[in-house]
Amino acid sequence: MIVFIIVLVIFAVFAGFNLEGIKISVGFHEFENVPTFLALLIAFVFGTLVMLPFSIRGLKRKKEKQALPEEPPLDVTELEDTEESPEAKKPRGKKSRKS
């Protein structure tokens, strides 16, 4: 509750410093004398509403991944028995130049 009150006070101070009106044009209509803090608040709320469906879809995907059974870890001993190609057996390092 204390954090909420602090955030509310910060918002009120921000609003107090940004009371002068601005002009906002949305293409077909023009709003005049809109307080700056109100324009920013509306933009924030609009952005939140736009991102909400993406967040919900991300949560659904996360739940689906958790519902799937996990695959057993890969057994390394099976890989050691495989035959390697001659290129893979060559030592890897810097090539020396003969002058």
Number of domains the chain contains: 1
For residue 7, name the pLDDT band (cuts at 50, 70, 90).
confident
Closest CA to 33 of 46, 44, 18, 20: 20
Whether residue 96 lies inside any domain: the answer is: no
Quote the percentage of the chain above a pLDDT of 70: 67
| Domain assignment of residue 78, yes or no | no
Q: Averaged over 15-20, what is the pLDDT?
A: 83
0.85 exceeded by pTM: no
pLDDT digits (tens, 9 = 90+) for 30-81: 989 988 888 888 888 999 999 988 888 877 777 777 766 666 666 666 665 5
Domain that holds residue 50: 9-68
